[in-house]
Amino acid sequence: MNRQAQAAVLFLLGVAVLHAGFTDLYLRYVKAGLRPLLLAAGVVLIGTAVATVWYELRQQRDGHGHEHGHGHREPRVSWLLVLPLFALILVAPPALGSYSAMHAGTALQRPPWGFPTLPARDPISLNVADYAGRAVYDHGRSLRDRHVKITGFVALDRRGAPYLVRMALNCCAADALPVKVGLSGRTPPVLRPDTWLEVTGTYTGKRTKDPVGGGVIPYIDVSRAAPVPTPRDPYDESWNG
């Protein structure tokens, strides 16, 4: 590509990055805390494109760019490089779901600073990783005699056993790993993979071993389960894996 074409691609890439950053689209790729860096990257790309065009126009005005600009032509097929950019703008990729979750081992890890005291309200809302961590590493001490509400998507193992899952991000979707909680008790009679559920229940000491990786998967004894819309941010950022 010549410099004008390079500038056009940089400009379109910058626009795509800013579009993702100013909408919820970026949450499909990176964690929410990286939004300022993403916006800064988009501004830098657009600024680089503008500077490239300015430099090329100045070279042509000074009579140094004529020979370079007309000596050869780049193949038009090189413009196909911009197609992924339009795909980024127009098509929002789905968040990772049950297929990815059941082909990766649970990413549950012991938090380095322990578990903070839970509020007194009942039921208490926890994310999947927090409930699973307290159930496994704190042996459910802070969860006993408490009603807990957690939200995640449904995944089924090969035997059809249901799990509530949230994909945990360390940085971006490329490193997302699942945290799984088994469902027992009053589960819905029909559960479809990737359906989002808000589950209310109580701690149970029941556990199982993840067939992928051998990690520990705790359970929650379900008293109520209701479908909910996919959340704005489908990933769990609380994990510090």
Query: Token match 């705790």: residue?
Result: 218
The pLDDT value given to residue 82: 65
One domain, residues 16 and 124 = no
- Specify the pairing of strand 162-168 against strand 196-209: unpaired
The pLDDT value given to residue 50: 83
- Domain end point (choices 90, 121, 136): 90
One domain, residues 74 and 153 = no
One domain, residues 215 and 118 = yes
Q: How confident is the model at residue 240 (pLDDT cuts 50, 70, 90)?
A: very low
The pLDDT value given to residue 38: 77
The pLDDT value given to residue 88: 63
Residue 84 lies in a domain: yes
One domain, residues 117 and 36 = no
Amino acid at 236: D
Phi-psi region of 117 (alpha: psi -120 to 50; beta: other; left: phi over 0): beta
Distance CA 218, CA 200 (A): 15
As a whole-number percent, the residues of the chain with pLDDT over 70 amount to 81
DSSP letter (8 states) at residue 33: G
**Lowest-confidence region among 68-82, 111-125, 127-141, 182-196:** 68-82
Cis peptide before 94 (omega within 30 of 0): no
In which domain, by residue range, is 143 found? 98-227
Mean pLDDT of 121-131: 92
Q: How confident is the model at residue 74 (pLDDT cuts 50, 70, 90)?
A: low
- Domain end point (choices 64, 90, 116): 90
One domain, residues 31 and 126 = no
Q: Whats the size of the chain, residue-wise?
A: 241
Q: Which helix (H) or strand (E) holds 66?
A: helix 66-70
Distance CA 238, CA 31 (A): 10
Residue 236 lies in a domain: no
- Specify the pairing of strand 162-168 against strand 216-227: unpaired
Distance CA 98, CA 108 (A): 17
118 or 60: which leads in pLDDT = 118
Residue 81 lies in a domain: yes
The pLDDT value given to residue 221: 96
Query: Token match 């196909």: residue?
Result: 80
One domain, residues 71 and 174 = no
Residue of 159, 203, 160, 166 whose CA lies nearest to 185: 203
pTM across the whole model: 0.70
Whether pLDDT at 77 is above 60:
no
One domain, residues 84 and 166 = no
Q: Count structural domains, the chain.
A: 2
Amino acid at 171: C
**Lowest-confidence region among 19-28, 111-120, 132-141, 214-223:** 19-28
Q: Which CATH number goes with the domain that contains 114?
A: 2.40.50.140
One domain, residues 111 and 171 = yes
**Lowest-confidence region among 95-99, 149-153, 162-166, 177-181:** 95-99
